[in-house]
Structure 1
């Protein structure tokens, strides 16, 4: 670091020097890579974990789900990947539910464009015949394969979206047993003997993924043909099923109860939702609790559930570690981009809620990191706001393919475009603010909650929807901006756990007006040409 006689470098000047040095290093590395690799394309390993909030060791302090907690989860392999990646600490999904979120980041378009707000709607029928992330690589000569859960399966992706893959998509054989028949409670620690006859689904997914890497490694090393391998781990989705040895990592006495275990102060009733999944399991049903707001689970039961979730996360971390080792063993590390993400956040009693389906921080904040050989090897942490809709254009740019154009206002008949933007500039300038807000949404009965997250605040409006037209299978809705049924405003500097809704605070009236205008400008006045009903 340069020194200046008789003067002290300001924080701003010091950051300029750091950015300049980082840019010089990166340009030198890129030049070397170009000379040595003769412009070879990068492979892509696309890793997803289902229902994973940023409960990883690399997310600390205000970026962790419980910022004031002393608890530390064990995720050594993902932490190691983060140390050689661009780690995005403020990354937000567009929808806190598997199907709509995955559709959004795999098409690069927002839920009101894909018209997917549930688990059954297929975007090629509802939104348009959009080109997906793996399909774009397939169209550019890559072999694209996937295993586990990449798209949300079934009718929501017509059996994992055939046009996206070069080879028929693979699913684990024993998913039905361990998700439907073999588990009656919210969680189960499985012994080695039990896994002999019925391997855990994520173990099967691991083996399928390693098989793909081995099959494609020779062509990928020589540049004959590159691969895009998507690996979608099922856990920590309910039920939390994992090898029993991971339970030993977390003595029950170490598990904490979140400080914000009740609904926020002045939470609007129209924004509240019941826990959709947990009451399906015997151990929750036996509690015989009412479904009224703020009726959460007993503290000891809460600890048991949180412990099982943490064990499940550590289990997935171990599987990721085995994939990363295989990449190294196959000598693919120098030309393979590795991204890792969770498809949305998850509540474990925070805000009086269990699960997803919210516009809260816990529902929309998810882990995201991307390793690009030669560019992120030293590790980069960015607090800049990014959205999951940005993933598609980012990975495309990182791989050296033609960039994705920005979508026009109406893009139903535009097969390739994005409503996101590449966040690769953060590699050189991690403190740069690429956008001033991240947007998410969540429907309730006959209404939609739209939420924006800035660096300091979260603002949400719950808006009634009025069906104004139906032409065949298409539905048009008017967003009733003049009939707001609920407003939320949280100050994340003073209240990172979203305990106090300050929408009625007269001191913040100027912010409420500012955010409301911004939200309205971003969302518009109508939802047009939907094929699934919101009413």
Structure 2
């Protein structure tokens, strides 16, 4: 587990590291970087062995790059996960533990990945969700928060791209509900627009939904950037498959709903503590789901509804896959594909009925494991897979190494470039994650911080009371242990098994020692 150093020490380290880095050699051609975030994307992709997912374009890109099969998020919710990977620091260092925590307010001197690349000769551009939706962090980019022109209305500037529908009836209903919500509290998530049905399947062109519209903007922007002398770093963040599952009908039509299997682990893990699950408040915002129960209650979602939701998630993934295919075709057309590093990642997983739940926000691996695919110029081992442990916090130092930029000394991730060159080599022996469980979301109404360590054999979690004002852990309240090899779906907490107490003691020690003791040789 990470020791909590004062923030000013990190600020000093960041400043020293940046000042010591050399500028790029003049005249040397550096690769462009296309940094692609796909919100709420778990490894529901063909290249990851999902036999249902229809994702030919991502699968094709993976066949030309490296697929990381054991990548873990540091936190299974957007803002903390993205703050961590975009700064190269872990959550107890960023002190971003939940959705409302803002790293730029906590430490205005924080240097993010695009800031760092800008200082090393890159022109940085942001389209879509790279940081959390309502925290685009304009400081990070040379061209921040670009949006399609039709979404630049004044009343929509604080609205998230995920909240738009096609149906006028839905839009009118949304506006009425938003007005009512803002009267109760003027500061609301997504500016109060995150209401409406949990899915929509309009028969429209791809570009009429937000992701499709911003994909066209990305193409135009790439054409413009291709004319510049300096290399570019473009952050492109797709909103789907985040709720609502609102995508063109043709992507729903790719699937037979009855052929999509339901979750293989539909129950909360046996003997799990009462604070382990989130309350599904995210889904509860949508029409018809206001009364759903806590996963650790007797509540069970009906099969028909579960199938529609899972169908919508798969349709949304296929929609984004098609947009990526169109984008890559454009890159080839304008001649920048071969000299561009392309990295695709999900910020955390998502439960599709797993553990009697829908959404993220737990320490379970269904929420922590994410896809990570990298393709770069002159890459060896194209189409390779590695099952060695990596983490999202590794992306910052890895992209520095791929771009020929000195890796900042303060990074808390590890460049995975050596692993690309040797996919079967021994690498990290563990990944570290955590989650802040707030009183309003836990089954017992109390506040906790859960710390997680994943090894190839086991997944171990410790839960502590948490002082959210001071950011300090208190008394240890419980623990969980899952057999990663024999129970990958995490159905039974085996922490009480008398024959495993030596394993528990070892994992507890390694969790306390933290990430520095898990680094590859």
* Fold similarity call, TM over 0.5: yes
Which SS does the other structure have where 2:415 is aligned? coil
**How far apart are residue 38 of structure 1 and its match?**
8.1
Instruction: Quote the offset at 1:290 in angstroms.
Output: 6.7
User: Which residue number in structure 2 is paired with residue 329 of structure 1?
Assistant: 333
2:143 is matched with which residue: 160, 167, 171? 167
**Partner of residue 92, structure 2:** 112
2:125 corresponding residue in structure 1: 145
Question: Secondary structure of 1:324's match?
Answer: helix
Aligned length: 447
Q: Is the 8 A contact 1:148 1:233 kept in 2?
A: yes
Give the distance between the partners of 1:97 and 1:333, measured in 2 at CA: 31
CA offsets 1:14-47 (integer angstroms, 9 cap, x no match): xxxxxxxxxxxxxxxxxxxxxxx98421100111
Contact 1:270–1:486 (8 Å) recurs in 2: no
Cα pair 1:109 1:420 within 8 Å, conserved = yes
Q: Is the 8 A contact 1:135 1:165 kept in 2?
A: yes
Q: Which residue of 2 aligns with 1:4?
A: none
1:80 corresponds to which of 32, 47, 60: 60
State the Cα distance separating 1:200 from its structure 2 match: 0.8
Contact 1:385 1:433 in 2 (8 A): no
In structure 2, C-alpha distance between the alignment counterparts of 1:119 and 1:290, rounded to whole Å: 20
* Superposition map of 1:451-490 within 5 A: 451-466=452-467, 475-480=469-474, 483-490=475-482
Q: Distance in 2 between matches of 1:466 and 1:206?
A: 42
1:315 to 1:497, Cα distance in 2 relative to 1, 3 A: same
- Which residue pairs with 1:510 in the alignment? 502
Of 175, 178, 188, which aligns to 2:165?
178
Larger Rg: 1
Moved over 6 A (4+): none
State the alpha-carbon separation in 2 of the partners of residues 395 and 316 from structure 1.
23
Contact 2:129 2:236 in 1 (8 A): yes
Are 2:277 and 1:272 equivalent residues in the alignment?
yes
Deviations 1:489-524 (A, max 9, x none): 000111111011100111111110011111122289
Retained in 1: the 8 A contact 2:124–2:141?
yes
Unaligned runs of 5+ in 1: 1-36, 65-70, 408-417, 468-474, 525-535
CA 1:504 to 1:486, structure 2 compared with 1: closer, same or farther past 3 Å? Answer: same
Structure 2 counterpart of 1:55, from 37, 44, 56: 44
SS at match of 1:297: coil
- For the aligned residue pairs, the C-alpha RMSD in angstroms reads 2.2
* 1:478 to partner: Cα distance: 3.8
Cα 1:381/1:177, change in 2 over 3 Å? closer
Q: CA deviation at 1:141?
A: 1.6
- Distance, in Å, in 1 between the alignment partners of 2:262 and 2:397 is 39
The answer to whether the 8 A contact 1:296-1:349 is kept is no
Counterpart CA distance in 1 for 2:329 and 2:515 is: 44
Q: SS of the residue aligned with 2:227?
A: helix
The TM-score with structure 2 as length reference comes to 0.82
Secondary structure at 2:426 match in 1? coil
Shift of 1:278: 1.0
Cα deviation code 1:294-351 (max 9, x no counterpart): 5231122111110010000000000011111111111112211000011110000112
Partner of 2:303: 299
TM-score (norm: length of structure 1)? 0.80
